[in-house]
Structure 1
């Protein structure tokens, strides 16, 4: 037999046994029973025993009883006790950067020129030739000013290392 035919035979066996169910009992499992995952994992709460800033006992933790364990006084009616989680509260965002007058004028021209043309067309105002040219020039000028002022270099506070530069 050639190596290719051996591989073909093994492949046929794999395909033929694809839909077969595994009939193993727990004695045939390749891992110990202690590593089997329970159907519903128990929940536990870990709280520090003392204030971490006090210096004594820092890093020591006391493990609370598992929720739903026998002898739990809080669980009289069969419901799980409500967890007291604070959740994550993000810090307030930093203030927006101050925009200089040139940038404000450029943004106003970028949106103001087309907005004027749109409003004039919707309201059926008569458009003078100089007004149309001025609106288009404001749009193009605002765009050019914003692109020129954009800059393509790294920020000034990035330090000496630019990271991965390709």
Structure 2
């Protein structure tokens, strides 16, 4: 295998190859007719530009306000109104108990004197109660699909 390039493989060879391809396509009839049987309009290049003309002879830039017949797509009162959010689920008894444990732990941490305890006993007890309430909430998290889901419930993460 020869890794050296042939001196004929220069830009001239590329141009000759391209001209050969174009000539072959023209022989086959490709490019002789325009799509939909329309002929190219030579007068289209010489036609006047669309739209109003400035005094300098340059076409003016069309803006939305130039066409008074066209109605704007968005009116001032047309905006997206999201649907009402679904109602919050009803709390079950175990969830309410866990939330009450967390509330009791916060009260015990901030005001241990309400229960007749000193801060040396109330703080560790409050932390245990807080952790118990949080742990109970974590243990109550459902791992399975909701009870009303069908066989095709999409991606489950």
Q: Would you say same fold, with TM above 0.5?
A: no
What TM-score does the superposition give when structure 1 sets the normalisation length? 0.42
Structure with a larger share of its residues in helix: 2
Structure whose alpha-carbon radius of gyration is higher? 2
What TM-score does the superposition give when structure 2 sets the normalisation length? 0.44
